[in-house]
Structure 1
Amino acid sequence: MPGSLLVAGTTSDAGKSVVTTGLCRALARRGLRVAPYKAQNMSNNSMVVAHPDGGGAEIGRAQWVQALAAGAVPEPAMNPVLLKPGGDRRSHVVVMGRPAGEVSASDFVDGRRHLARAAHDAYDDLAGRFDVVVAEGAGSPAEINLRSSDYVNMGLAQHASMPTVVVGDIDRGGVFAAMLGTVALLDASDQALVAGFVVNKFRGDPSLLTPGLDRLEALTGRRVYGVLPWDPTLWLDSEDALDLEGRRSSGSGLRVAVVRLPRISNFTDVDALGIEPGVDVVFVSEPRDLAGADLVVLPGTRSTVEDLAWLRSRGLDRAVEQHVASGRSVLGICGGFQMLGRRMLDPDGVESGEPADVPGLGLLDVETRFAAEKVLRLPVGEAFGQPVSGYEIHHGRITTGLDEQFLGGARRGSVHGTMWHGSLESDGFRRALLARVAEASGVDLPASDVSFAALREARLDRLGDLVEEHLDVDALLALARDGVGPVPLLPPGAPTPRDS
């Protein structure tokens, strides 16, 4: 019998993605066909997958990783709606992997009805093809001001009569109140689908937690399915930039400074650099932080023109130019590469919202013109004698001049620019690039044979092991298949939507 489970959370970044990913791996080990699903992501960190109709499609990075954990082929139905923030009040919309206009804060309810239909249709499709769908919620189901238009949390649960577990991050404090409050704020029909809880990021002696867990179960009439311990070795591809400051290696020797652009996207591009011995990766936002860097990385951005203006306002443009003048290396990826060129043109306001014609940093002989149609590709090629693969997500069309061609971009001396996200995950290419950086800086870089793909797989296995060891996976699987039994209302006598 097919089943499904919603992994909701008390807050954003409570651990929904981690628990969902771990469950995907644990259930797949049981020989089940497992599909991850998130009705709607709001993230600028995405991945290109194959579209059923041909060409490329864009989904959230977290669902791509969860599909790997499940041993499934990533597809658009696993993240049918992706919102990419274009400002404080508007988001670019991707539906089933393809651009689908914009939605604004002022049109939050009416502008989302068609998105709900697309999301639920995608879920129904997955549920008909897989044994188990492990769905990840967004934010918190207790955002009761948004309940009428919700199709990601309890709106999804109601659509599929889906049992729900609530994840709480105990490392933040107040987890018991957050879990109890999350359930108590829901109306009766939504409460009826909440089966219990998972505690995440616990440090210390588990016996100290027992009185709190017992009290939570007594107060809510719902069980705790387990407590996941804090594990600093886990480092999964993230879908947002909340933990960028913690993304660094513990190495020393070759220093990589990644400019933390305000609208940074696809920042997981640099994760592969941090696994190399003797390489230290830091995110920076001040010109002085570039001093002593051997490699400066300008990453992808959702708003290239605006982030270039930010770069100039802080004097980072001059710091990058001085870095290059000293003979040291720069790598620009997608939007960061476009900034390195001579000029960026946006006559129709595709990216900027209004027409723009701005000079770039002039470090590469490249001109960018933004067009309405988004490019979504999975390219393969070669650089420095090494095979390279990646993915492209952009509106910019690149015209190169006299500089050397380089991975969909250009290269001049120590300045490298590519349109290919993910290229640094190609092990041979990454090591060849770092060897050139080290040579230019006079740094002795240790030999390495580390495989990024193997390391990611090991992390997924480790997460699966933690879930198997610390959560009652068999009970969660039974819950997914059988649904929620009778549970009490909190507080007693809570009104149903029809009574209120």
Structure 2
Amino acid sequence: MKGTLLVAGTTSDAGKSVVTAGICRWLARKGVRVAPFKAQNMSLNSFVTADGAEIGRAQVAQAQAAGVEPTADMNPILLKPGGERRSHVMVLGKPYADVDAMEYGAYKDHLRTVALESYHRLRAAYDVVVCEGAGSPTEINLRRGDIANMGLARAADIPVVVVGDIDRGGVFASLYGTLALLEAGDQALISGFLINKFRGAPELLDPGLATLKELTGRPVLGVLPWVNDLWMDLEDSLALDNRPGNRQSGHSGRSLRVAVVRYPRISNFTDIDALAAEPGVSVTFVSSPGDAAEIAEADLVVLPGSRATVGDLEWLRRTGLASAVAGRSGPTLGICGGYQMMARTIHDEVESGAGQVDGLGLLPATVEFRAEKVLSRPVGEAYGHPVAAYGIHHGIVTFDGGAEPFLDGCRVGAVWGTTWHGALENDDFRRAFLADVAAAAGRDDFVPAPDVSFAALRERQLDALGDLIERHADTGALLDLIVNGAPAGLPSLPPGDAR
């Protein structure tokens, strides 16, 4: 079996990532050697591969669904927004440029070549490549320079299925409109639709499905139901509410309350998923001045990663949340950018160009931003347990004295800081850390669950995504598209040529 497919969506967060992961898991269970591919990803959630390349977390989860090691070819272009108009561009997992929205166009021809080379390397190495689009294929203002959607599909002759999120409402209009706004050559590759996140009796949709097929000449290849507590590594904060829920069955005592600060450029917030998966741990994201009380009352406050450390620190001060964090007497954890904010002084001529900035002063440390980006897969030990993690940062932290080392960071009393992402996914370390947090917070009634495996939980979630495809999609039609490509003679809707 050899072939390919592109999963596009009517909008961001329509479900492209989870459908792509589900198709990868379904095919892998059939014995197909399959790989995911996203030519261009815009995300602040990233990961470091075994060979030191930075790619989007969603493609890492999709590779896990496929049962293969993630590589830079699976996400050759990664855009990491640092402001309203500027992005840090990673190419094949390495820093490439910092550009604004208009400057980026000058790089498109080269980046298209890079993306296609990656795609063809995957096609040569795997039986099937399942591609994920970016945003919507009908961003008609950007079509000329498109790399990730119909530009890729046209260049490589890839059949396309379009996912629509019915939970948002207007799914039939959005599916029809997505097709209608495309030019005829693009429309010829749109081979079917998938409706995602449906609640209710599927037969209620039958008249609409029949009319959509009559109007477009394309079938709906499945109606995927809404599933509670279904999640995977996310691309952006639009989907934060789909992180794992708090599971407290079998737990005695009140919840250990964790407040996570959600600043504007929050990154790698998947660090929190392992905490949220713990029975008896309640995770809340806080982001407004009115949340100061939540910070004061939490048993643990987490300052997560940030793509704009100095900018998000200024935001903390504007909202008054900086004072709430600095005024706490209870446990506080800073991860990467959050750790940098907790230092006494930050020197940044690289990311923000702000020069010297006062930090929160929670740790006796100084941060200096350097031009060279650190991408690493460190291993270490804490609380007597091994810890494997990954590092992504420009800021280099040095201790001023009086601090205890902690995972390439430091600790003073009940304040911890680390540069390492993913540390909390290590089960034994996480339990020991939570026990220490509970003791420091005076929560004698909280004892971490002894048997939670975060890796096993992630595998169950990926299996659930595979089940969604196997049980609710027309897998025969999907296989036909993958192997044989888009059907010949698909009708073109007139608006596509009327631009």
Matched with 1:289 is: 294
Matched with 2:374 is: 375
Matched with 2:272 is: 270
Give the AA of the match of 1:135. Answer: C
Give the AA of the match of 1:308. Answer: L
CA contact (8 A) 1:188 1:495 kept: yes
Matched with 2:166 is: 170
The worse-fitting range, judged by mean Cα deviation, of 169-178 and 446-455 is 446-455
Give the AA of the match of 2:67. Answer: G
Q: Deviations over 1:378-414 (max 9, x none)?
A: 0111111111111000001111232111001000110
What's the offset of the Cα at 1:420?
A: 0.3
Matched with 1:470 is: 472
Q: Deviations over 1:125-163 (max 9, x none)?
A: 101111000000001111111110001000000111000
Matched with 1:431 is: 431
Matched with 1:317 is: 322
- The 1:81/1:493 distance shift into structure 2, 3 A limit, reads closer
CA distance in 2, matches of 1:382, 1:46: 23
Matched with 1:59 is: 55
CA distance in 2, matches of 1:255, 1:302: 26
Matched with 2:190 is: 194
Give the AA of the match of 2:313. Answer: L
Give the AA of the match of 2:446. Answer: L
Paired residues for 1:261-410 under 5 Å: 261-285=263-287, 286-324=291-329, 328-346=330-348, 349-352=349-352, 354-402=353-401, 403-410=403-410
CA distance in 1, matches of 2:477, 2:127: 16
Paired residues for 1:241-256 under 5 Å: 241-245=237-241, 247=243, 249=246, 251=248, 252-256=254-258
Matched with 1:146 is: 142
What's the offset of the Cα at 1:282?
A: 0.3
CA distance in 2, matches of 1:148, 1:466: 35
Secondary structure of 1:151's counterpart equals: coil
What's the offset of the Cα at 1:316?
A: 1.7
What's the offset of the Cα at 1:288?
A: 2.1
Q: Which runs of 5+ in 2 are unaligned?
A: 249-253
CA distance in 1, matches of 2:150, 2:60: 23
Paired residues for 1:39-50 under 5 Å: 39-50=39-50
Give the AA of the match of 2:202. Answer: P
Matched with 1:6 is: 6
What's the offset of the Cα at 1:317?
A: 2.0
- The 1:422/1:240 distance shift into structure 2, 3 A limit, reads same
Secondary structure of 2:356's counterpart equals: strand
What's the offset of the Cα at 1:481?
A: 1.2
What's the offset of the Cα at 1:486?
A: 2.3
CA contact (8 A) 2:216 2:493 kept: no
Q: Which runs of 5+ in 1 are unaligned?
A: none
Secondary structure of 2:144's counterpart equals: helix
Find out whether 1:223 has 2:219 as its counterpart: yes
CA distance in 1, matches of 2:427, 2:354: 40
Give the AA of the match of 1:374. Answer: K
Percent identity of the aligned residues? 60
Q: Deviations over 1:453-488 (max 9, x none)?
A: 000001111111111000122321221110111244
Secondary structure of 1:486's counterpart equals: coil
CA distance in 2, matches of 1:493, 1:388: 56
Give the AA of the match of 1:118. Answer: V
CA contact (8 A) 2:247 2:278 kept: no
CA distance in 2, matches of 1:263, 1:210: 42
CA distance in 2, matches of 1:317, 1:480: 52
CA distance in 2, matches of 1:162, 1:96: 22
Find out whether 1:445 has 2:478 as its counterpart: no
Aligned residues: 487
CA contact (8 A) 2:89 2:99 kept: yes
CA distance in 2, matches of 1:234, 1:355: 41
Give the AA of the match of 1:317. Answer: A
What's the offset of the Cα at 1:494?
A: 5.1
What's the offset of the Cα at 1:188?
A: 0.8
What's the offset of the Cα at 1:355?
A: 4.1
CA contact (8 A) 2:42 2:81 kept: yes
CA contact (8 A) 1:26 1:473 kept: no
The worse-fitting range, judged by mean Cα deviation, of 462-471 and 250-259 is 250-259
What's the offset of the Cα at 1:492?
A: 4.3
Secondary structure of 1:14's counterpart equals: coil
CA distance in 2, matches of 1:377, 1:215: 52
CA distance in 1, matches of 2:496, 2:310: 51
The worse-fitting range, judged by mean Cα deviation, of 261-270 and 1-10 is 1-10
Find out whether 1:185 has 2:181 as its counterpart: yes
CA distance in 2, matches of 1:211, 1:89: 43
CA distance in 2, matches of 1:372, 1:112: 24
CA distance in 1, matches of 2:46, 2:125: 24
Give the AA of the match of 2:469. Answer: V
CA contact (8 A) 1:23 1:473 kept: no
CA distance in 2, matches of 1:59, 1:339: 25
Q: Deviations over 1:43-65 (max 9, x none)?
A: 110000023xxxx1100000000
CA distance in 1, matches of 2:459, 2:247: 21
Matched with 1:417 is: 417
1:491 to 487, 490, 493: 493
CA RMSD across the alignment: 1.4
Matched with 2:251 is: none
Give the AA of the match of 1:95. Answer: V
What's the offset of the Cα at 1:30?
A: 1.0
Secondary structure of 1:232's counterpart equals: coil
CA contact (8 A) 1:287 1:314 kept: no
Find out whether 1:77 has 2:78 as its counterpart: no
